Structure 1
């Protein structure tokens, strides 16, 4: 583990630059070296951004704020990964063009080995905030720049990137580095809060007015009261590096028993405690936790308030709820999706569900909610495509009394606040207007909502699950979907298979019929199954409406077949048969033309289904790779598989 530094570098600034120049010469660089104009290709850069998506998502809004503070100063803000490759930049358009002349742009490495002494490379090499001005750059070409850079550490002190402001040397300002350092610390604190969303977090400082500011210490503790991590300010106040503090008990760090401190905090939520550091310094502190503990007479036995609520009522509601078991009906693709989603339940990782309309995206979101610690809190679903642009803002964010003509008396809290403590499902997020995307990004970043016409921010704690049938990456390229919001909502991306590509149709029919029977008071007159002929027709159907269409067809057929022993062909809706293809024959009489006209995998798996399932899976992976131009990450996302699985398949095909 990299030890997180809590003190400034001992060497003077001149020594830092001199040592960086010495390293540059050791790398074999020449002062007259020409800039390298070979950035990563777009797909490679996109893959790199994806590998750094948590850093990218938390940094982007901070970069926008920092850029707003330095706008019109002939400068730009840059984010890099841990090796110094630029992931993203924001800047004044005229200076951006000037920066491109020295290859200061996304996809280019600014490590010292590639660019010599420069703020990005040198800051990463020294693990310290650094300014490199004009002639201090090793390469002659870069001496038109003045740059201020600060490394960014993850919640465990490991350097994961850097934040930099570069500009024209004539615009040099000594306060720029302070702005960059503060912005990097904001990013680190956001990463910290995201990483330890389910832990007990303690905010503390010797002065109460610094609680809730950038200067507060942040420490995260596990359920047993041992330290998980601490931010830079906390380490400075403790006076010890992170490695020496990990797994230390709460009492050793703050002089108070862990259960007693939580019990005191639970009696007066939001109020501050007085704790004592090992140095004897008294600090003001505030404890926060995802599920507020309630203590019995034995203070060492915490339990959540949800557990002490009406458990029997919750149990009855959950008996009819959608769960992972409900959705696991034997299809291999669906099982892979459920396996991946199950790994992030209970974690503060946003879920993005892709798939065609009607593939069951909301069912997956409900199952995710039901299987999580938030199951006793609200599940609120919003279909962004069904709301007019003029209403979606009020519906999502709420409004105060009199905020607009036609508003309800006493206003409305909005869907986001309604979901507080639970899960907010944003269906068809790709249809959300750009203006509302900006507001949603702010809510996700700040974890608070300001209703229309209001001035007071309402704190919210929601798990976000988004879904869409659209290609969000293409929309980003077109400028119709915000890139920062995309990287905020796609913590885990899964793709639901189309119904025609699934192998569990008969089980799905049984499950849907069982659910319809449970909802009908006179279920005895409802047929319990479909006939063999109906099932044969179902297997030949293209199902353009997917699961939603199947449920609607069965709902109508159940009514038409009331009193019959089974649902027959005569009970099916007339218009449904238009979506069904003529019966196929797999024998030798099937013509080459019929093979050529067969539907693709996502519309009809029968046309590709060999005798062995392994061959069918191989064909599916091949077609998905081809459709994504060989991009393994994109193919794995679409299939709902791990990247290693696709790599393993490719190796197997190569060896055979």
Structure 2
């Protein structure tokens, strides 16, 4: 089979497998299935459509799908008109329900019966984009002689399955044309259109439910990337869109056991109360996995008056703040030597055309640092545009980064979308979790960085762009390069200056950090930590870093008494369970009066050993250090 060079958008490869290799494997497996059906490759297939009555039954059975897909198909066709292509909708069995096409291509299409009532399953036509997309449950490109039947080798096809509200395939959207007119952007347009159909089906299926739209970035609300989850009036989970499943990080079956409260940490009654205010803004909610999202809701039902009195006094999430208070590198320099060195390096390259790569564990403040770099740079009056490559579904990240031509793919937007790269023109583009960017898009990004030109999807025009680039990752990009998961040429283009943000457990300025977080979250009030809480904080390994610390303090502030002192009983139960403090009383090994850093370090290690019954391995894991560190510290204290 010849390599046509167009495989990169079909499937997400596994570790160590390139997109091209993964796509070839997919085609080869489809051919094996086709051979097992006993179809000769040289055979002339049966292109006979269903009879009139059977075709009427097909349309009736798929009425809702057809109803919601038709306007999207017409919109998609406007994007590819006069390109010798046609747009096709099929049911779950590959039977064509509806087709739109260029007049000059329809004659060719008639030869292979791309018309309503004809079956294009793998069992009927062998490997083809429609049938293989159904079999694989994933977007599929089948080009030229990749088709199993030689009679179909003049075609190039890009197909995406359409899923219903419970995650089952109910149909396929496909663009088919002459192989000589293949365009690399076609699959992206098909995927976007399929998701539009899914979202419309989703909205129509839960008209009386509570619909929550959410995303980790507020600017994505109202776009194809927003997650949507539906709940009944009592907060029981009903369903979620594909983007919603992606952001929640759970399967549809796993979500059936959840409620609004267990997923977002807020009673559904508080949601009702928020929307009884005169001008309800966006909500900030925390997902079950600790990720903060921005949300808005629709179709809320009024609550009984008895519940209203209680809820009016409830503490509700804060409305989105327009700008972070942590706005400069100077503010972030809180006394830790590692952070100070990183800030010094960053200050030296401000205003220079040098790419910056920030590494560090999840939650160490990489985006905060990028925003501070922008605010201290000569570009501070221009846009700062942040894109989390891990939070955008792979099917949509290309259109969001590079934009797309006139076509209103987000409903009201009838002039297309310029994309995040062009939005950052003149300012700073921050690509968070760059290690999660698909390989095929890494190639496009590299080309943009080298040529300083962007070509939107569906366009033949390249637009000049001038921006500063900051990337961040919690992954080891060098290891990914050796596994074929990250392009080495892109890596060397990104790492003009590499700085590492240390995890919270390695920082020497924890007290200052806690003070600043409390000041940010306390709305002008002066909260303080009880000595035993501060000692526990110094002993903890903080696997979630600033994100974990901030969420913990935010909740503790709500739980405090009138004296505004945060004590152990005000901390979240899961945090205390991690420390094994819920079933045994805390015995402080030293005085709680102010002590030196060495004394606090000794206290932390002794406390961890006490909690784990002398098990050095368990204590080291809880503290986030190695066993050798504990042995070395104990030896040094004995020698003092």
**Alignment TM-score, normalising by the size of structure 1:** 0.44
TM-score normalised per structure 2: 0.45
